Amino acid sequence: MKARSIPDTARQGWACLMLLLGLTTTNCLAQQHAEDSLMIRKLFDNALTAGRIGPDLRYLTSRIGPRMSGSDNAQKAVEWGRLKMQEINPDSVYLQEVMVPHWVRGNKEKSFFTRSNRKREVMQVCALGGSVGTNGRLTARVVEVRSWAELAALKDEQVRGKFVFFNRAMDPREIETFNAYLGAVDQRSKGAIEASKRGAVGALVRSLTLPIDTVPHTGAMGYDPKVVKIPAAALSTKSANLLSESLRYDPDLLYSLTMDCRQLPDVKSYNVIGEIKGAVYPGEFITVGGHIDTWDLSEGASDDGTGFVQTLEVLRLIKTSGKRPERSIRAILYMNEEAGADGAIAYARQARLSAETHLAVLESDAGGFTPRGFRIEGSPDIHAIISGWKPLLAPYKIDDIHSGHRGVDLAPMKGLAKALISLDCDDQRLFDIHHSALDTYDRVNIREVELGAASMAVLISLISKYGL
Ligand SMILES: [Zn+2]
């Protein structure tokens, strides 16, 4: 542990003790607690009465809309984000260049299957992000699996020339829906690779959502350069159930898929960064961020419009707090979280080159729902410091402190920042809308997003004051 970890708190305690002759350390700590409580109250009051979350999110979603990496809209969001940061008037606002992929969906996908009795059933599908197209209509038989072991157990002739249909559902028994997502997302990320290795012509993946409905959910998928690229589509849960039931008594039904999607050349894009210099330790940084880019099926209000506007709001809350923070605060709008985290990787590369000290990097990318606390990856000492602030966080119901962050954009800072921290939200509704046409402004509760912004501003202010 370095000299300036916990001892900052102790040092302030001693300084305080000397200044306030006659007071005991206990009194001094009580005074600090009172000061901190007041600071937190002010941040929440500011966010809940003078915040910009509502109008900012409305503008971002309705005036700019979907913001796929490499698209014109993504560039509009970069320019708007920079303008909004400049309005807050921190010490500096700048762009950080990054090359990003540019995938386009093209014409809307068409899909159906034909039963042996020639009856046709329309399927609700969407291409997975990054998929190749079908080059016209692709028709083949289907083999269904729910696990990698089931796929491995199939004979080659049972897979070759067919679609592999990955139909493992998210487990509804998981209380945290994110864990249910983690239990099923491998089908989306590597389904096309594993199916292609066995000679399949396409991958069909059950949408990663709990409700049984007609809405397909997209998301990033992977290819292996050593394996033939085959098209991959997500089926709505209702379509997946119908296909599964039909295959049981009609295993030779014929499935048809038409997808026009394709990868275009990479595009130059940007992270947007705003910075407030620290008054005491300007070389020590605490960052807060969300991602600019979205999928194309909706305006990306929750994922990650909420993190985008919260990042602006945290910068505003700290700027208008009336006191310059002890450490430097950087607000980062990341580009291309969804299809490779290129923006976050570019930021981490620059951080490594500059040898800056990063105390903590925070991200909000869990949907912008009611905040519960924080997920922290850091040493036991850091957990102890932050857990020590629980009495300050409890009145705002944000004192759930868990291990392990969940921010894709945080991961590149592992080993560079002392703590990687995700804002933790109640995620029960997240996967109902995630990466689908349902991720719209009207489904976001603005007050919940305001509470999340205030929560991050509070944690950042405490880290700025006491260090880690
Ligand atoms: Zn996201």
Beta bridge partners, 329, equal 276, 286
Q: Return d(Cα 203, Cα 144) in angstroms, integer.
A: 10
User: Which band of pLDDT confidence, cut at 50, 70 and 90, is reported for residue 250?
Assistant: very high
CATH superfamily, region 7-101+265-466 = Zn peptidases (3.40.630.10)
Ligand 1 centroid distance, CA of 436 (Å): 12
* Whether pLDDT at 294 is above 60: yes
Ligand 1 centroid distance, CA of 419 (Å): 20
Q: Which residue has the higher pLDDT, 434 or 9?
A: 434
106-260 CATH pick, 3.40.1440.10, 3.10.560.10, 3.50.30.30, 3.40.50.880: 3.50.30.30
> Are the beta carbons of 335 and 270 closer than 8 angstroms?
yes
User: Which band of pLDDT confidence, cut at 50, 70 and 90, is reported for residue 16?
Assistant: low
Ligand 1 centroid distance, CA of 308 (Å): 10
Span between the terminal Cα atoms of the chain, in Å: 10
Ligand 1 centroid distance, CA of 89 (Å): 27
* The length of the chain, given as a count of residues: 468
* Whether pLDDT at 10 is above 50: no
Q: What is the structure's pLDDT at 405? A: 86
Q: Return d(Cα 383, Cα 375) in angstroms, integer.
A: 10
What pLDDT, in 10s, does the model give residues 359-410? Answer: 999 999 999 999 999 999 999 999 999 999 999 999 999 999 999 988 899 9
Ligand 1 centroid distance, CA of 281 (Å): 31
What pLDDT, in 10s, does the model give residues 96-126? Answer: 999 999 999 999 999 999 999 999 999 999 9
Ligand 1 centroid distance, CA of 331 (Å): 16
Given 337, 338, 363, 450, the catalytic residue: 337
Of 1-5, 167-171, 453-457, which gets the smallest average pLDDT?
1-5
Q: What is the structure's pLDDT at 355? A: 82
Residue with tokens 């937190």: 40
Q: What is the DSSP letter of 449?
A: H
The mean pLDDT value for 223-249 works out to 98
Pairing state between β 417-425 and 357-363 = parallel
Ligand 1 centroid distance, CA of 304 (Å): 5
Ligand 1 centroid distance, CA of 6 (Å): 33
Q: Return d(Cα 414, Cα 361) in angstroms, integer.
A: 10
Q: What is the DSSP letter of 168?
A: P
Q: What is the structure's pLDDT at 25? A: 75
Q: Which two tokens stand for residue 236?
A: 């709505």
* Whether pLDDT at 11 is above 70: no
Q: What is the structure's pLDDT at 28? A: 85
* Whether pLDDT at 139 is above 50: yes
Residue with tokens 């089931």: 150
Residue from 331, 343, 330 nearest 293 by CA? 343
For the chain, domain boundaries? 7-101+265-466, 106-260
Q: What is the structure's pLDDT at 5? A: 45
Q: What is the structure's pLDDT at 29? A: 85
Ligand 1 centroid distance, CA of 354 (Å): 27
What pLDDT, in 10s, does the model give residues 29-59? Answer: 889 999 999 999 999 999 999 999 999 999 9
Ligand 1 centroid distance, CA of 337 (Å): 7
Pairing state between β 202-206 and 163-166 = parallel
Residue with tokens 């990097």: 361
Q: Which residues are within 8 A (CB) of 289 and not within 5 positions of it... i.e. 6 or more apart?
A: 307, 311, 331, 332, 333, 334, 361, 362, 363, 364, 409
> Are the beta carbons of 90 and 275 closer than 8 angstroms?
yes
> Are the beta carbons of 70 and 62 closer than 8 angstroms?
no
Would you list the DSSP string of 224-272?
Answer: -TTS----EEEEPHHHHHHHHHHHHH-TT-EEEEE---EEEEEEEEEEE
Ligand 1 centroid distance, CA of 5 (Å): 32
Beta bridge partners, 99, equal 268
Backbone angles phi, psi at 323, to 5 degrees: -145, 130
What pLDDT, in 10s, does the model give residues 183-232? Answer: 999 999 999 999 999 999 999 999 999 999 999 999 999 999 999 999 99
Ligand 1 centroid distance, CA of 297 (Å): 14
Q: What is the structure's pLDDT at 131? A: 98
Which run of H or of E encompasses 347?
Answer: helix 342-354
Q: How crowded is residue 64: how many other Cβ atoms within 10 Å of its Cβ?
A: 22
* pTM passes above 0.75: yes
Active site residue 337: yes
Q: Which two tokens stand for residue 372?
A: 């519960």
Q: What is the structure's pLDDT at 406? A: 87
* Whether pLDDT at 12 is above 60: no
